[in-house]
Amino acid sequence: MVFAAPGEALARAEELLAADPSPLHASVAHQVIGIWQRDFGDTRRALAHLRRARDLAARADSAEREADVLATLGVALVHAGRTRAGLAAFEQGVARGSGHTRARVLYRRAYVWWVLGRHGEALEDVRRAIPVLRQADDVIWTARALTLRATVHLAQGSVERADADFTAAEALWDTTGQEHDKADAVESRGLAAFRSGDVPAALRLLDEAEERYAKLGTPTFMLTIRRCEVLMAAGLATEALAEADGAIAVLEGIGGQSTRRAELLLVAARAARLAGEPQTSLARAAVAVRLFAGQRRTWYETHARLVLIEARAATGRGSGRLVADAATVAERLAAFGAPAAPEASLLAGRIALDLGWTADAERHLAVAARSRHSGPPLARMTGWAAQALRARAAGSARGVLEACRRGLDVLDDHRMTLGASELRARATAQGAELAALAQRASLVSGGPRRLLVWSERWRATVLSAPPTRPPADPVLLTAMTAFRELAARAEETRSDGGRPAPALEREQRRLEREIRSRTLHMRGEAPGDGDRFDVGRLLRRLGDEVRLVELAVLDGRVHVLLCGQGRVRRFEAGLLAEAEAEAEHVQAGLRRLAHPGAEARLPLVEAAGARLQHLLLGPAAAHLGSGPVVVVPPGRLHRVPWALLPALRERVLSVSPSAGSWLRARDTAPPPGGRQVLVRGPGLASGGAEIPELAERYGAARAPEGGTARHRPPGHGYGPGGSSLEARSSGTEAEGAGGRPPREGAARSPGVPDDRPPGHGYGPGGSSLDARPSGTEAEGAGGRPPREGAARSPGGPDRRGGPTVLEGDEARVPTVLRELDGAALAHIAAHGTFRADSPLFSSLRMADGPLIVHDFERLDRSPYRIILPCCDTARFASVGADELLGLVTALLPLGTAGVVACTAPVSDAAVVPLMLALHKGLDAGLSLAEALRDARASLPGDAVHQATGWAFTAFGAA
């Protein structure tokens, strides 16, 4: 019962002791309390109770009882760091027990051997125990022994054997009421999924195990260790470090197991190294090594020494001694059969290469390279990294590129098993070294074209395929609704001059964790890695007029790859670090210019823009021609206001996360019908003043009760003084199952026409705009939009009906999502909030709370064009190798071909004329980039309006 219902078992044991039991029964009660304290409380108290249980068993003259208690005592002593005394207790237990009891003692000693990392001894003891336990029909202890054997197999890299034992154990657990052991079985399956490379399944199973443990009220230190391992493999090292450090603090607070503390310190050291905190890693690893050595846990001590050496190397302490230490660790890990052995050999080889010891490097790298053909994805990538370094040392650029290609192919296959865009983005960090090696080799031997191919190979790969749509998970949808309501209440409290209650903030954070957790469980659906980048295709699409400027960073310096007129040219520019610092100065200047009275700073900001141009474009600025320019910056330069650079200021300018992403946007056909949606969120300083004017310009739509948008008859434009839009209830059938928006082409509410009749579009003054059918020659082959500069249809874009306007109480998330799905143009005037700590919770404020990135991922197709006129909507978090997480990048793989968004705080009042001018250009059939260029030029020349124009960027190619 101490595992099935620990709280009840503890209470029953204490009641029994209060009733003056016999020595035999008292021994059982003290043993139960000792187990509870050992696993869930204070190990010192556990030892006191277990010693008392041992003495009472001896007084009762029960050898079997004494043997059983000695085994429990042995486990507690080892967990307390007293390994020699623990093993001595087991020797006594094995000698005192017989038959069935001895088998239970052997199982527990096998567990201790596993804790100590002595896997051979563990397998031997469990091999002796299982037949006896089965013969005695002891289902619980047989299942425990099978689970333990599977765990040992996993530690040795034998995933198939582990799966077989886990399956057999789970079948036995289903016949028992041992809830704790059932939770342990789920946890173990999560570990097996992780070892086989299935990160989403591992996270899902570990979260399920955590829920089961929570119902029992038991601590989950081992689960935390395993979850941290999975988080690190998923690229979430910072989160893993926070979880490990939090668990260490809890464990120390209750006087918990010394063995678990050492394991948590090892996990924290690894997480800190991966998170780019080598000093923290050094500190954690040094303590872990000391603890493992004192506990005589050589297997774990060796793993901790590997992390210690990695941390030292990361701090720039490469030396011959470090090479020797890494080689020794590699040999020991290989002797243990540990999967981490290739990592140690790669580390030794890498340090030796840095020292110029090519012969030593080749020896170690050859050993590491053996892992490239088998094992889980990250182990194979280790092998290909070693092979690439061998080729570089041998002077074979071709060998470097082949090894890098093969290694990144492994990463692509792994990445596409991940459904969540965040995991896909962060997983790319595993390939950063391979991509950098390939870029250097290309620079030396391949010319600008090859460098462009390799720059694209690892840039914005998350955008190459849409993320998996969140499942119709009622728990997820409920959590998102609850999160939205809480966020709205918190915002209301803040707007009243107060601060949300701590309980409200805690619940909001809990719901964020739940939403994110369930999203990370999604498996990828798309096979392969999307379409391969083709330089020839890019140059054909650019033609003679358009230039694409891709910025690659090699060894801290910006290299400009200028594409156009059928060729790729390379120019060297400035240092990335200097450009980043200058970009921050520019951002600060734009923030100040958003407020009146800062006109004197305008020349300073313009001068900073000139310095940025020198650092980012260098001599390439003189070769941009006179046509449109597409800029493809690295992730770390995502905050640059490109329109501020003198060479780009008067141009048709767009920005794209990658050249491949720009090509996909160019090939995205607009949806039929030309449907437009105008949304006005609450609390805007300008009141979203452009929305009524745009509605008046286009002719408006109203939303009937319980239905979809109805377009007004001719002559009934919506404007100030017009009738208000009727409220539409959320959760109607039009939303589709699970509250999702209907798929494109799904039936709308009966009797509610979706568009006006052809030829009845309305422009300024109510004049008719000629409808343009999709698929005409003006769109280009395959229904694609025309090339920039190509002739457009007379009358501008297809707009066979007026827009849908959502404001006030109608601007609620379910309604907004329903109308956005498959729209041709969306203009969303709403407060934008960027979350650097959790970029996929970046949001737009609606009437019922935040519209977050996770909401957009539920759309079948996001709007073809989106205009986001409010602050910070174009801010991103740079993660992984060269990936960006944020609102704009979430939209691009979902069907959006173009976005206008803002990179800095702006004056709400100055935004209104900019937006009206932008729509005027779109009315005339211009692209977003063309319309934004003309809109900037139409603004007054004062500092506030100029800064507002520079702060907006056109992304994509629509």
Answer whether residue 281 shows pLDDT above 90.
Answer: yes
Residue by residue, DSSP assigns 577-588 as HHHHHHHHHHHH
Answer whether residue 467 shows pLDDT above 70.
Answer: no
Cβ contact 73:31 at 8 Å: no
In whole angstroms, give the CA distance from residue 649 to residue 643: 5
Reference 220, options 193, 246, 199, 194; nearest CA is 246
What's the pLDDT at 733?
33
In whole angstroms, give the CA distance from residue 711 to residue 692: 15
| Confidence bin at 81 (pLDDT 50/70/90) | confident
What pTM, to 2 d.p., does this model score? Answer: 0.70
In whole angstroms, give the CA distance from residue 61 to residue 55: 10
**40-73: per-residue pLDDT in tens?**
778 889 999 999 999 999 999 999 999 999 999 9
Range scoring the smallest mean pLDDT among 310-324, 757-771, 796-810: 757-771
Answer whether residue 776 shows pLDDT above 60.
Answer: no
In whole angstroms, give the CA distance from residue 703 to residue 719: 15
Range scoring the smallest mean pLDDT among 149-158, 325-334, 693-702: 693-702
**780-798: per-residue pLDDT in tens?**
333 333 333 333 333 333 4
How many residues are listed for the chain in this entry? 958
Q: What three-state secondary structure class fits 902?
A: strand
**208-243: per-residue pLDDT in tens?**
899 888 888 777 888 999 999 888 877 788 889 999
In whole angstroms, give the CA distance from residue 355 to residue 30: 60
Reference 513, options 115, 841, 175; nearest CA is 841
Residue with tokens 């790298």: 365
Residue with tokens 């080749």: 362
Backbone angles phi, psi at 680, to 5 degrees: -125, 110
Reference 80, options 271, 334, 366, 296; nearest CA is 296
What's the pLDDT at 673?
80
In whole angstroms, give the CA distance from residue 96 to residue 658: 70
DSSP assignment, residue 405? Answer: H
Cβ contact 366:389 at 8 Å: no
Average pLDDT over residues 194-209: 84
In whole angstroms, give the CA distance from residue 90 to residue 97: 10
Residues 766-775: contacts with CB under 8 Å, at least 24 apart: 766/699, 766/714, 766/715, 766/717, 769/795, 769/796, 769/799, 770/794, 770/795, 771/674, 771/795, 771/798, 771/799, 771/800, 772/674, 772/797, 772/798, 773/798, 774/669, 774/670, 774/672, 774/798
Task: Copy the structure tokens of residue 447.
Answer: 């010319």
Between 503 and 723, where is the model more confident?
503
Q: Could you tell me what percent of the chain has a pLDDT over 90?
A: 41
What's the pLDDT at 498?
64
Identify the bridge partners of residue 805 per DSSP, sorted by sequence position. 678
What's the pLDDT at 886?
64
What's the pLDDT at 213?
87
Cβ contact 413:529 at 8 Å: yes
| Confidence bin at 761 (pLDDT 50/70/90) | very low
Pairing state of beta strands 883-885 and 877-879? antiparallel
Cβ contact 146:154 at 8 Å: no
H or E stretch at 598: none
Answer whether residue 843 shows pLDDT above 90.
Answer: no
Q: Which residues contact 120 (CB under 8 A, 6 or more apart)?
A: none
In whole angstroms, give the CA distance from residue 781 to residue 776: 8
Answer whether residue 711 shows pLDDT above 50.
Answer: no
What's the pLDDT at 408?
84
Reference 697, options 678, 710, 683; nearest CA is 678
Reference 919, options 710, 654, 676, 590; nearest CA is 676
| Confidence bin at 39 (pLDDT 50/70/90) | confident
Most confident of 122-126, 170-174, 314-318, 408-412: 122-126
Most confident of 325-334, 430-439, 517-526: 325-334
Cβ contact 710:802 at 8 Å: no
Average pLDDT over residues 92-101: 94
Most confident of 650-654, 740-744, 874-878: 650-654
For residue 836, with 0-12 CB atoms within 10 Å meaning exposed, 13-18 middle and 19 or more buried, which class applies?
exposed
List the alpha helices (DSSP H) in 521-601.
535-542, 576-593
Answer whether residue 762 shows pLDDT above 50.
Answer: no
Pairing state of beta strands 849-852 and 629-632? unpaired
What's the pLDDT at 790?
34
Average pLDDT over residues 492-520: 69
b/e map 837-859, b = 16+ CB within 10 Å: ebbbbbbbbbbbbbbbbbbbbbb
**139-164: per-residue pLDDT in tens?**
999 999 999 999 998 887 788 888 88
What single-letter amino acid sits at 550? E
Task: Copy the structure tokens of residue 695.
Answer: 């509605």
For residue 54, with 0-12 CB atoms within 10 Å meaning exposed, 13-18 middle and 19 or more buried, which class applies?
buried
Range scoring the smallest mean pLDDT among 127-141, 330-344, 460-474: 460-474
Answer whether residue 838 shows pLDDT above 90.
Answer: no
Answer whether residue 665 shows pLDDT above 50.
Answer: yes
In whole angstroms, give the CA distance from residue 838 to residue 483: 14
Cβ contact 709:675 at 8 Å: no
Identify the bridge partners of residue 819 per DSSP, sorted by sequence position. none
Range scoring the smallest mean pLDDT among 202-216, 254-268, 575-589, 711-725: 711-725
Cβ contact 638:587 at 8 Å: no
Answer whether residue 505 shows pLDDT above 80.
Answer: no
| Confidence bin at 496 (pLDDT 50/70/90) | low
In whole angstroms, give the CA distance from residue 369 to residue 352: 15
Residue by residue, DSSP assigns 419-483 as -SHHHHHHHGGGGHHHHHHHHHHHHHHTHHHHHHHHHHHTSSGGGGSPPPPPP--HHHHHHHHHH
pLDDT, mean over the chain: 80
Cβ contact 725:766 at 8 Å: no
| Confidence bin at 443 (pLDDT 50/70/90) | confident
Average pLDDT over residues 348-365: 92
What's the pLDDT at 903?
82
What's the pLDDT at 263?
93
What's the pLDDT at 774?
35
Answer whether residue 754 shows pLDDT above 90.
Answer: no
Q: How many CB atoms are located within 10 Å of the residue 68 CB? A: 25
